[in-house]
Amino acid sequence: MKINDNKVIGIIGLGLMGTSIAAALALKDQKIIAVAPMGSDLDKEAPKRIRHFLEKCQGEGLTGKAPEELMENIHFTTDYADLKSCWLVIECVVEDLDIKREVFKKIEQVVSHEVMITSNTSAIPISILQADLEVPERFYGMHWAEPAYTSPFLEIICGDRSPIEGAEQLYEIAKQWGKEPTLVRKDVRGFITNRIMYAMYREAFHLVENGYATVADVDRACKNAGGQWMAFCGLFRYMDLTGLKAYHAVMGDLFPELSNRKSVPKLIDDIAKANGNGVFNGKGFYDYTPEEAEKWKETFEKFAFDMNRLSKKYAAELEDISNSNNPKQ
Ligand SMILES: NC(=O)c1ccc[n+]([C@@H]2O[C@H](COP(=O)([O-])OP(=O)(O)OC[C@H]3O[C@@H](n4cnc5c(N)ncnc54)[C@H](O)[C@@H]3O)[C@@H](O)[C@H]2O)c1
């Protein structure tokens, strides 16, 4: 498949992530066809949210352009037919296999066979999502992180029927968008980050539910241990930096002790079944007044911009050598 990057990209679903991705791409002067599939309140609020993200980006120095000018890159619509001019479509609707399948069907009805279709799914295997497509070979996972306009993260994932060449082209284009992409060469549930993060979540629940530590202590330990170096380097580099042999010695003893539970932990099950949704309704692992929830959201947004600056600064310092010391696999 030959990619024709005409800088027109479709985004379907203008919720939390769809709007964040639209802002990230508008910042890079891509033209966006932003499809609000439901015309829901969430979708109607999308232009306001994107403008807010772009204002923040301008205020934080991520762009010299005014939000109004960048907003001109985005065409809002409820009509899938407007996707015709795109070279790439990013599906970003709710995490529901049947709904995503319906959306792919509607996309394929209007775009030509050369158009690449991707999904921002968090965890549905790409091979399952692509199975019913008319042209499954045009389909990849494109997994963004929130906030997409500050995070350098972008995971490109192959399904069983996605040629690696297409993924490699998407990978190169993602670099032009200012990302530090990762490539998942074979489909695996959870991809890279969610596999690693969920292994951590499982262990965190194990520690709390078995009385070893409180939620707050586990949070503090994560923030002050991994949190202090993970934006600088990854797990393997960290073992190199701090003495690989010690990790080798600990693994033999510790791995058999780690949680390998298969069911959803009761702690989160109880909160979710009582409709708790964290800062979004004030009920989570902690309780929040509306003011506290707002303060956490605002401060997290500010932190993401600072992290963006910090990680770019240190990546630039290591740019000359980071490609030369080849990894073992
Ligand atoms: N939120 C995150 O941090 C995050 C991170 C990575 C990936 N994702 C993934 O991105 C996708 C979107 O997540 P989100 O957080 O933006 O969700 P969201 O709830 O904020 O937005 C969902 C969107 O889906 C649309 N939608 C709902 N029902 C629909 C239907 N029947 N048909 C068509 N569209 C429908 C809504 O109109 C809305 O535009 C999901 O697959 C999610 O797993 C989310």
* pLDDT, tens digit, 9 for 90 and up, residues 124-137: 999 999 999 999 99
The domain spans of the chain are: 8-189, 194-317
CB of 124 closer than 6 angstroms to any ligand 1 atom: no
CATH class of 194-317: mainly alpha
The reported pTM is 0.90
Percent of the chain topping pLDDT 90: 89
CATH: 3.40.120.10, 3.40.50.720, 3.40.1160.10, 3.40.605.10. Which one for 8-189?
3.40.50.720
Fold agreement (8-189, 194-317): no
Which of 11, 14, 16, 155 has most ligand 1 atoms within 8 Å of its beta carbon, as the pocket-test mutant?
A: 16
Q: How far is the CA of 91 from the centre of ligand 1 (A)?
A: 9
Q: How far is the CA of 121 from the centre of ligand 1 (A)?
A: 9
pLDDT of residue 52: 96
pLDDT of residue 322: 73
- Nearest-CA residue for ligand 1 atom 28 is 94
Indicate whether 44 pLDDT > 90: no
pLDDT tens for 274-288 read 999 999 999 999 999
Q: How far is the CA of 15 from the centre of ligand 1 (A)?
A: 6
CB of 17 closer than 6 angstroms to any ligand 1 atom: yes
Indicate whether 325 pLDDT > 90: no
Alpha-carbon distance of 213 to 203, in angstroms, equals: 11
Contact 127, 161 (CB under 8 A): yes
Residues 6+ apart with CB under 8 A from 76: 14, 34, 36, 46, 47
